[in-house]
Amino acid sequence: MRFAVVDIETTGGFPSQHGITEIAIVLHNGTEIEGVYETLVNPHQPIPPFVIGMTGITNAMVEAAPSFHEVAPQIYNLLKNRVFVAHNVNFDFSFVKHHLKEAGFDLSTPKLCTIRLSRKVFPGFPKYGLGHLCRQLNIEIENRHRAGGDAKATAKILDMVLQNNGERLVKEMLQKENREQLMPPHLPGHFLHDLPQEPGVYYFHNKQDKVVYVGKAKNIKKRVLSHFTGLDLSKKRQDFLREIYSIRYAVCPTEFIASLLESIEIKRLWPAFNKSQKRFEQLWGIYLFEDNRGYLRLAIDKKHKNTQPVQAFSLLADAHRELWKWVREFELHPALCFLDKTIPNEWPDVQLHNQQVEKAIAWIAEEKASYIIKEKNTAILVEKGKFVGMGTIDHLEVAEPLEPTYAAAIKEAVTPYAENEVIKSMLRKYLERYPHRVVRITE
């Protein structure tokens, strides 16, 4: 097996925004080093002071160096028929692949991470960063934080892995079906192996054990793996992968239960990498008022503190969609709901129109009734249109009509949770799609 042990120095952490200032490639045949390639690279952008302080590579040093485009053919030829090896391989591989692609070369080689290999071959060390690991293994690094020194030290780590019966492990990690090398560098492999293939919610934790991301899944293992496949070079993705140190999960009976729990947990934990539901707020409402001609009018407007809409929405498009549904369902005139700007030749009868509006309002009130949704062994309880909570009810039967006393027993069995706009929207859509699964609670 032939390896190319690679280390690079860069102007920053993201391939699409930053350049390579130095690259070193140690060619290894599985037994010994065959050759070393090393060069400074002109990144054609300023090197930040903190990077200069860490690496010692200055703007003056790279000024006369070749650009990556100039050395790309040679680099590609050195890498193309070998296993790409690096300490925290996704970082180096993402930079090299990105810049090779910009130079017209498509690098598609297997890759190995010496952090992940070392965790398996040398378990029990407190840390597996290059400096810490070399101290534990008594490997001397010459020229630390320079590509040549770090690449040669990484090659020595690879040597020690292979000498400690690591060849079988290397082959396993390179198998097509084994995705472990795609995982974040700080995430031990057992977290992936232990994931169930069931619906539920999963939590990504950082180094301080704080939850940084919450997700839901129909199949937890499959969904978690999907986060780590591909080669997304964006800043967001790179930050995300570097923050993941452990995974926790909660199995749920169904995907819908998982969706509710995900929303609850995002609001409770406010994870750094969850974005969409944090901005989910009630911003629009459908309001009812009587105009000077006596018509009851329905209108969409921004939600204000001291006003109570008939129904509230986070998106203007959702409010329009719902009001159009009422117009069709109750044969309301679109112009009297501000959905049609043209003036009709003949207005509808005031009394008949108002009766239809009142029917619509009564129907909406009915939607705010109390009910239970049973998903397998779990009950979701809603009282007067408000989400109360959910929980396991193995010992209780749910049959319609459900009397208040029996509903009270179910309420005791469920865990209370705070309602939010995402949950309200999900319940509304569920009622529309699966009305036969809803058990009403009699008054």
Range 115-153 burial, b when 16+ CB lie within 10 A, else e: bbbbbbbbeeeeebebeebbeeeebebeeebbbbbbbbb
φ, ψ of residue 207 in degrees (nearest 5): -60, -30
CA 439/CA 348 separation, integer angstroms: 38
Q: Please, are residues 266 and 204 in contact by the beta-carbon 8 Å criterion? A: no
Q: Is 353 a catalytic residue?
A: no
> Side-chain half-sphere of 405: how many Cα atoms within 13 Å?
0
Euclidean distance between the first and final Cα of the chain, in Å?
Answer: 74
Q: Which residues are paired to 62 by β-bridges?
A: none
Cβ–Cβ < 8 Å for 287, 357: no
Structure tokens at 91: 């970082």
Helix and strand numbers (H, E) in the chain are: 16, 16
Instruction: Identify the active-site residue in 18, 87, 98, 145.
Output: 145
Q: Say if residues 147 and 9 touch (Cβ distance below 8 Å).
A: yes
Q: What's the CA gap between 195 and 65, in Å, rounded?
A: 48
Helix, strand, coil fractions of the chain, as percent rounded to 5: 40, 20, 35
> How far is residue 233's CA from residue 238's CA, in Å, rounded to a whole number?
7
Q: Which of 256, 245, 190 is nearest to 437 (CA)?
A: 256
The residues that are catalytic are 145
